Chains A and B, each alone.
Chain A
Amino acid sequence: MTTIQSQPERVLVIDKDTSRSALLEQALTDQGYEVICRLHDTEGLIARVEQIRPDIIIIELDSPDRDVLEHMATLNSHIPRPVVMFAESGDSQTIQKAIKAGVSAYVVDGMSPERIQSIMDVAAARFREFQALRNELNDVRSELEDRKQLEQAKRLIMKHQKCTEDQAYSAMRKMAMDQGKTMTQIAKNIISVLEMLS
């Protein structure tokens, strides 16, 4: 039996990362869902869930608050239950994808599997996208850090050996090739040794 949804599902997003949950809220709103609340601080979680009465809760997989939600669900049938409880064999791929992306969901009885799947797919995609952005940012950060160290090591050699920038750089290249190490490793060694001497 299919129920006609006259009202959009009410979604609660629980995520301590506010930029990620903002991204997810936008994506869900674009798809026609109503994000009624985003929680980044879960103090008094039980009272808030009882007051908000969401149809579906999207929560990061590793959140310790999942154990709180699961306990609530055993006590009160209005409280959303773990999505895996509703999984037909066909849905397990959606759930697996979501779990790999680090997201989990709790849903109330009577929500259509298609709607659950669609919300979870949106959430998983946003979590993945966010992770990719974060990785990219970390790469850029560490690249900047590497460059700073190379510069610092070069300046220290120039000061100690009273040589030109080109000579300092060639010396470092040679050390890296002779020792089979990366330029960053060599720069770190130089900094620690020369800073100790000065």
Chain B
Amino acid sequence: MTLIHSPTLDTPEKSDLTLGFLPLMDCAPLVIAKEKGFFSEAGLNVQLSREGSWASIRDKVMLGLLDGAQMLAGIPLASTLGLGSPKVPMVTAFSIGLNGNAITLSRELLAEIDELGHHPSDSSAAGLKQLIACRKASGRPKITLAMVYTYSAHSYLLRYWLSAAGINPDTDINLTVVPPPQMAVTMKKGLIDGYCAGEPWNSVAQEMGIGSPVISGYQIWNNCPDKVFAVLESWHDAHPATHQALICALIRASEWLDKPQNSDEALEILLGNAYLGPALSMLSQPKLKQGNRHFYRYAASYPWRSHALWFLKQMRQWQQLKEPQADLKQIACQVYRPDLYRSVADKMKISHPTIDFKPEGFHDDDWLLPGSAGVVTMGSDRFFDGGTFDPNQA
């Protein structure tokens, strides 16, 4: 099968770039775009900088020490709103894949839930709800669950799963942040009882024998978005052609990554010490696509404004965003830029969605969306509790 060809794009305003990433499976599109030459074919000389925290990525992008970076989808939205950081508008025109997360609970906690008579095949938090009540009645300390960052898909998936069972994530449990590489170790020491994180950190806990995934992110919300590639809005305004070249290279890398015949090579590249080596070496058989991860399939790299709106609604629901007058739709449109994606995809002659918003929770199976040049196959978008999200009524 032939890969997407490299189109003729405008000459980038800036060719020497530094992009930030965190050592997680979904840094793959950035790493592959560099190592397989997609950046250089787009006229870019990219250095990748491995960072230690999301806060570090955000600060360095804000101060111009990084041109752009892999980010949790909540970060450009929170930065534009001034949540937890100065108000600095960011934009994204590229989503880094779908799925790949899971909720893992410790062996001890699962044993306690089991004793209450809840079957392990029940992936809801009903057993956890009952355990919380029992612990409260007997005066035992609250359960502590961790996520990777305050404004992250992990945070909202975990909150969604808990609240569907009637658990208030802000009062019934302690909700804390633990950096992903420390998750399994922190749980082993008994400091947390479970967590929501991306791969490889759920597989690591399982291989260490200290816990098991109870529900995947995919099960909570089929084909949910997770991370994006983002830049400052001012950076985009000053470097529109460079941004286009970056999007083009990243789309090509995503398509390359979703070809089954490339997954061994991709893993080999990611295992390099500069990338994911230390994390993946903890696994006997690391898998690129653990947890139904897609990089390109189902329009995975398209920056849906409805996804941004879903995250913003979560921020408001959980009192992170306290301004009732904030126009969420306007923020979603300011930060998420499918128009930029479309202009690059047109030059690459690939079919892409022509709409900005789509409803969620209405498809149990693959479905077809009319695209710019032929239909685009979309994946199911079901929520585990049967919930729906209609961006037009949000």
- What residues of chain A have their CB less than 8 Å away from a CB belonging to chain B? 43-44, 46, 61-74, 82, 84-85, 87, 92, 95-96, 99-100, 104
Which of chain B's residues have a CB closer than 8 A to the CB of A71? 149-150, 176-177
B56, A82: Cβ atoms under 8 Å? no
CA distance A43 to B177 in the complex (A): 13
> Looking across the interface, which residue of chain B has its beta carbon closest to that of A106?
B55
List 19 A-B pairs, Cβ < 8 Å: A43-B191, A61-B59, A62-B52, A62-B56, A64-B53, A64-B181, A65-B53, A66-B52, A66-B56, A67-B53, A67-B55, A67-B177, A68-B179, A70-B84, A74-B150, A82-B84, A84-B62, A85-B85, A99-B59
Which of chain A's residues have a CB closer than 8 A to the CB of B56? 61-63, 66, 104
Flag B172-187 by CB within 8 Å of A: 1 or 0 each. 0000111101100010
> Looking across the interface, which residue of chain B has its beta carbon closest to that of A100?
B65
CA distance A85 to B53 in the complex (A): 18
Q: Which of B60, B150, B179, B191 touches A65 (beta carbons < 8 Å)? A: B179
> Looking across the interface, which residue of chain A has its beta carbon closest to that of B88?
A84
A84-B59, A84-B62, A95-B63 are contacts. A66–B53 as well, Cβ < 8 Å? yes
Judged by DSSP, the binding face of A is helix
Is B276 at the interface (CB under 8 A from chain A)? no
Is B71 at the interface (CB under 8 A from chain A)? no
> Looking across the interface, which residue of chain B has its beta carbon closest to that of A87?
B86
CA distance A95 to B52 in the complex (A): 18
A70, B150: Cβ atoms under 8 Å? yes
- What residues of chain B have their CB less than 8 Å away from a CB belonging to chain A? 51-56, 59-60, 62-63, 65, 84-86, 148-150, 176-179, 181-182, 186, 189, 191, 320
> Looking across the interface, which residue of chain B has its beta carbon closest to that of A86?
B86
CA distance A69 to B59 in the complex (A): 14
B149, A62: Cβ atoms under 8 Å? no
CA distance A104 to B62 in the complex (A): 14
CA distance A85 to B62 in the complex (A): 12
> Looking across the interface, which residue of chain B has its beta carbon closest to that of A82?
B85
A82, B55: Cβ atoms under 8 Å? yes
Which of chain B's residues have a CB closer than 8 A to the CB of A82? 55, 59, 84-85
> Looking across the interface, which residue of chain A has its beta carbon closest to that of B54?
A67
> Looking across the interface, which residue of chain A has its beta carbon closest to that of B55?
A66
> Looking across the interface, which residue of chain B has its beta carbon closest to that of A46?
B176
> Looking across the interface, which residue of chain B has its beta carbon closest to that of A73?
B84
CA distance A61 to B56 in the complex (A): 6
CA distance A140 to B63 in the complex (A): 34
B84, A74: Cβ atoms under 8 Å? yes
